[in-house]
Amino acid sequence: MTWNLNDLFNNNNKTCLILLNCPINNWDLFNRLWSTASLKICLDGGANRLLEASRKHSNPSNYLPDYIIGDFDSITEESRSFYNNDVTLIKDEDEYSTDYMKSFKLIPLDHSVVTFGGLSGRIDQTIHTLYYTRKEQVKRDLPICIVSENNVAISLSPGHHTIQLKTDTFGKCCGVLPIGTKSAKITTKGLKWDLGGPGLEETGFDSMISTSNHLDSETIEIETDEYIYFNVEFKNDFL
Ligand SMILES: Nc1ncnc2c1ncn2[C@@H]1O[C@H](COP(=O)(O)OP(=O)(O)OP(=O)(O)O)[C@@H](O)[C@H]1O
Ligand SMILES: Cc1ncc(C[n+]2csc(CCO)c2C)c(N)n1
């Protein structure tokens, strides 16, 4: 598979943006993802974040998601009444699935997914984001990217991946993260410290995890036998 991470910001008619209940500190970044997405879903308190940020930076009537879904313990009355007429609100009080899990029921399998937020804040929520993103990745051939304030994590299925990224958007720091798997055999090309050579055949919590690695090319090749994440930082002056 070839993933062009610059496509995060290019128009694509089958991309879903999921807005979690996380701060929108970088309106420009959020706005670029919003303009790219064809389907937009707010999770519960994510609607408050959208209303607040779009009021501050623009006109909230131009920022209407397709759905707001969740148990509605976080959405305010004000957000509810603002979005009530134009947006489909789905209240689902199931106590055995999170709002993030509920949102994927609305996303066709032929859509790529960009999750905005979910990597910082409460650690149980962060682990849940990584856990459930992988569960959904198993069902899809298209990527799920988790975009947070300063970096993007892309979920990779077993196989060979070519990741393209431009140095005007992405900084050099990156990681190859075997999260949710005991160990993985990974080979890479295009990183300063490539995996796969002597002493670096295996990656996992019992062996070695490649963090604080650096991009050495605008094309990165990753071959993995397990589901993993690859993360890369946004460039400082891009943010
Ligand atoms: N502090 C946080 N850190 C990371 N992700 C978060 C955080 N808070 C919320 N989220 C994400 O936003 C979604 C909506 O959160 P919200 O606070 O509106 O509801 P919640 O009741 O806390 O979440 P849930 O019902 O899913 O447990 C959550 O499902 C989670 O994916
Ligand atoms: C083993 C187990 N742990 C936690 C929960 C609680 N829980 C998980 S998802 C969810 C909904 C949040 O909106 C809640 C309350 C559970 N049910 N089962």
CATH number for 154-234 (one of 2.60.120.320, 3.90.480.10, 3.30.200.20, 3.20.10.10): it is 2.60.120.320
Residue where the block lists tokens 């947006």: 87
Q: How many angstroms separate the alpha carbon of residue 135 from the centre of ligand 1?
A: 17
User: What residue's CA is closest to ligand 2, atom 12?
Assistant: 98
Amino acid at 55: R
**109-154, pLDDT tens digit by residue?**
999 999 999 998 899 999 999 999 999 999 998 889 999 988 999 9
Is 98 touching ligand 2 by the criterion CB < 6 Å? yes
SS3 content of the chain, % helix, strand, coil (to 5): 25, 35, 40
Q: Residue 5 pLDDT > 70, yes or no?
A: yes
Helices 46-57, 27-36: inter-axial angle, 10-degree rounding: 110
**29-76, pLDDT tens digit by residue?**
999 999 999 999 999 999 999 999 999 999 999 999 999 999 999 999
d(CA 147, CA 154): 9
Average pLDDT rounded to a whole number, residues 190-194? 97
Sequence length of the chain is 239
Pairing relationship of beta strands 67-70 and 88-91 according to DSSP bridges: parallel
Domain positions in the chain are: 13-149, 154-234
Number of helices followed by number of strands (H, E) in the chain: 5, 15
Q: Please list every protein residue whose CB sits less than 6 Å from any atom of ligand 1.
A: 20-22, 43-46, 70-71, 73-74, 98-100, 117-118, 121-122, 125-126, 129
Q: What is the dihedral of CA 117, 120, 122, 127, to 10 degrees?
A: 80
Of the residues 19, 24, 43, which should be mutated to test ligand 1's pocket, given the most ligand atoms within 8 Å of the CB?
43
Question: In terms of CATH, what superfamily is 13-149?
Answer: Thiamin pyrophosphokinase, catalytic domain (3.40.50.10240)
**24-33, pLDDT tens digit by residue?**
999 999 999 9
According to DSSP H, which parts of the chain are helical? Answer: 27-36, 46-57, 77-83, 99-104, 123-137
**Confidence band (pLDDT; 50, 70, 90) for 13?**
confident
